Structures are given as C-alpha cells and as structure tokens.
Amino acid sequence: MSSTVLFSLEGRGLKLDTAADLEPHIKALKENEDVEEVRLQGNTLGVGACEALAAVLQSKKKLRTAILADIFTSRLLSEIPPALDALLTALLRCPQLRTVDLSDNAFGLNTVAPLQPFLSQHTPLQHLILTNNGLGPAAGTLIAEALTALAAKKESGRSSSSTPKDIPDLETVICGRNRLESGSMAAWAKAYQANKNILTIKMTSNGIRQEGVSHLLSAGLAHCASLQTLDLQDNTFTHTAAGVLAATLPSWPRLKELGVGDCLLTSQGMRAVAKTFSSGSSPALEILRLQYNEIDISGLKALVDALHARPKLRRVELNGNRFNEEDPVIERLKEVLDERREEYGPGFEEGVDQEWGLDELDDLEEEDEDEDEDERSEDGREEELEEVEEKANKVLQEAEEAEDENVALEEDKSVDQLANMMEKTELK
C-alpha cells in the first residue's frame, strides 16, 4: 500500500497518555484526506490520546482498514472502556471502513461494553479480527449477540437503501485464543446463522468441548453455504463432534480449507469424515489440517481411499498422529499429492504462494501393538459409522426445526443424545 493511503505508527512502542503526547505523531494523518489504512499496533494509548485520535479519525471518509491491535498494554481496566468507546464511536462515522483488528487487547467482561454498539451498528463491516482478547464465555456471548444484531441492521439497511450493494455481508470472523468455551456457542451459532454468507471463520484455541462444537456446527455453521475457510484447531471434538462435522460437510460446497488439528478427532471421527468425503461433499477442498488427532492407520487409510473424490486436495497436515511414517498408506498419499503438484502446481492460482504435499512427520506416535483394532471387522466399523452418520443427520434436522427457538446449549437434547450414543462405541 502506498504511503499516500497508509498511516502507520506500527511497533514504535510509544506511550501516549494525552492529546499533547499524540500531537507530534499525527500531523501526517491530519493532513491526509485520502488515507485508507491506519496501523497503530504496538503502542499504548491513554484516554486523552484516544479522544484526540478519534476526533481526527471520524473525518477520514475513505478509511477502509483500522488496525488497533495491542494499543492498551499497561493500561488500567478503568481506562480501556472510555478510550475504546471514543475510537469506535469515531469509526462508526467512517462509511468505507471494512476491516477492524482489535487483537491483543484485554476485553474481558468488564471492558467489552464499548464493542457492542459498534459491532451491532457498523453495517460496512466485512472483516473482524479479535484474537487474544481474554473474552471468556460471557463476553464472547455479548460479541456474538452484537454480530447477530449487525446482520439484522445490514438487512434493514439494504431494504431501505437505493444502493443495497453498498452494504456488504460480514465475510470474516477471526476470534481465537479467547476462552469462548461451550457456554457461548449457542450465541455464536445464532450469529453465524444470521450472517450466513460468511466466507472465513477462525475460532482456534477457545476451549470449546464436543457438545459446544456440535451445537456450533449443527445450529450455526450448517447454514453457511458460502463458507470457504473453517479453522477450529485446538478445541475438543472427539468422535462426538466429528460425526456432526461429517454430517455438516455437505453444507459447504465451496470449502477450500478445513482446520481441525489438535481436536482429538480420533480414528473413528476421521473415518466418519472420510466417508462423507467419499460421497463427494466439499469438492473444492484444497487444504486439510489434521495434526495431533490420535488418528491411526485405519483413519488415514479411509482418508486416502477418499482422495478420488477430492481432486483439488493439495495439502494435508498429519504430524503428531499414530502411525508409522514408512507405512505404504503414507507413501500412497505422498504419491497422489506429488502427482497433483506436478499437474496443477505451475498454473495453480498463479502469483499466490501455495502449500503443497504433506507436512513434516517428525512427531508421530507409534501404534500400540497390543491394540485389538485390527480384530474388529470392517463390517462392524461400517455399521458403527452408519449409526454415527444417521444420528448426526438427525442432529442437523432437529437444529433446523428448532432454529427459531431460544434453547439453552446445556438443554440441547439432540446433542446430548448424539454424545451418549457415540460414547458407547469403542473405536479409536
């Protein structure tokens, strides 16, 4: 981005408490009416500085991106709400502002309030980044509810506007490392159901357990037919939520990247997902992240057997699972991915850096020789997977029927029934 449309104080380590402290640093911003991006991360701003900055920002009608990550380090909890309120109130007056990054700021329950008016009212918003904000389930619920309100505000604006295309869909939500937990998933499911044209969702490392993941998938993400990137790594699926994931995959025909690494997917869960792949769901899938999931060779074989139905798959991450790197199934997978790179690599999305092949398999676990997995018949495995699939599909159907009801997550009987059924199976 050229200097004429970018204003940056990024990474300068400035401690700006007052308007006077800020003044020497924003002359270029004041004079630039064409600024499109402002980067302020890596400094610390007090209330007075934020109020002075807000007075300048509100006049920038061409502003499209505001990077406000890591701007409250060492600030008192009492300082953050008024400082943040001043900035976000000003940004509400920027009609072209599409991207907001507020990562690495401490927005717990006591300081999240200023976010709600902005997130529920700023109809130009397309890309929201909230990583490492310490939200917790209560504040996370408030954020999700604001995004649900935003969807209604966008729709209302389109219906009353002579140029409805000027109000874009919410396309990206990145909300990782925020301890959202299962308790906020009912609200997040409603938010994604309301913003059903979303393209990218990343909710990594949030302590979401299988019942929460199941609800998020069945009641929320199943409605997002345009989804292209889904990253839920470092949450807990087990085969419970893996079955729901398998049943939800056909809802995403445009999905290009799926991240479910470090999710305790298990081999049973992998086989359920692979079976859905074999049926032709998610034909656009290019990247599959499966590291550290306790997947053994039976789960890997199921994935490799489904490759014929995934013609665009070019990158698979498998490190940290439970098989031998020298196994013929691994060699087969490598060969297929290498052949695809030779065939499609040179002209595949020309000009864009691409990931191809397998990741480094330097942290694999050896399978336990005493396991009796091989003693179980393929027919038995197939019957159990069919039962998983049937129950997961029932969860999706019941979620659709109940989507207009206010059902608390812990009272979602369909998810509980699925969990109980799957806990009775012993496949790993």
pLDDT tens digits, 109-143:
989 999 999 999 999 999 999 999 999 999 999 99
Share of the chain above pLDDT 70, in %: 82
Rounded CA-CA distance 396/407 in Å is 15
pLDDT at 373: 43
Give the CA distances from residue 292 to residues 240, 259, 277, in Å, rounded to whole numbers and listed in that order. 17, 12, 20
Provide the pLDDT confidence category of residue 374 given band limits of 50, 70 and 90.
very low
Tokens of 378: 């393929």
230 vs 372, residue with greater confidence? 230
Whether 371 has a pLDDT exceeding 50, the answer reads no
Per-residue pLDDT at 366: 76
Answer with the residue of higher pLDDT: 164 or 328: 328
Q: Mean of the pLDDT values across residues 224-253? A: 97
Tokens read off for 174: 């990145």
- Return the higher-pLDDT residue of 266 and 408: 266
Q: Using 50, 70 and 90 to split pLDDT, how confident is the model at 410?
A: very low
What is the percent of the chain where pLDDT is above 90? Answer: 77
Which of 175-184, 282-291, 351-360 has the weakest average pLDDT?
351-360
Position with higher pLDDT, 390 vs 229: 229
Instruction: Please give the pLDDT value at position 4.
Output: 72
Residue where the block lists tokens 């159907």: 397
Check residue 265 and give its pLDDT.
97
Average pLDDT, the chain: 88
At residue 45, φ and ψ (nearest 5 deg) are: -115, 130
**Spatial distance between the Cα atoms of 326 and 344, rounded to a whole number of angstroms:** 26
The whole-number average pLDDT for the span 321-325 is 96
Q: Give the alpha-carbon dihedral of 70, 110, 148, 154, to 10 degrees.
A: -60
Q: Which residue has the higher pLDDT, 348 or 370?
A: 348
**Which has the minimum average pLDDT: 87-101, 193-207, 244-258, 396-410?**
396-410
Q: At what angle do helices 413-423 and 378-401 cross, to 10 degrees?
A: 170
The pLDDT of residue 2: 61
Question: Domain segments of the chain: what residues?
Answer: 6-361+384-397
Q: What superfamily in CATH does domain 6-361+384-397 come from?
A: Ribonuclease Inhibitor (3.80.10.10)
Asked if pLDDT for residue 42 goes beyond 60, the answer is yes
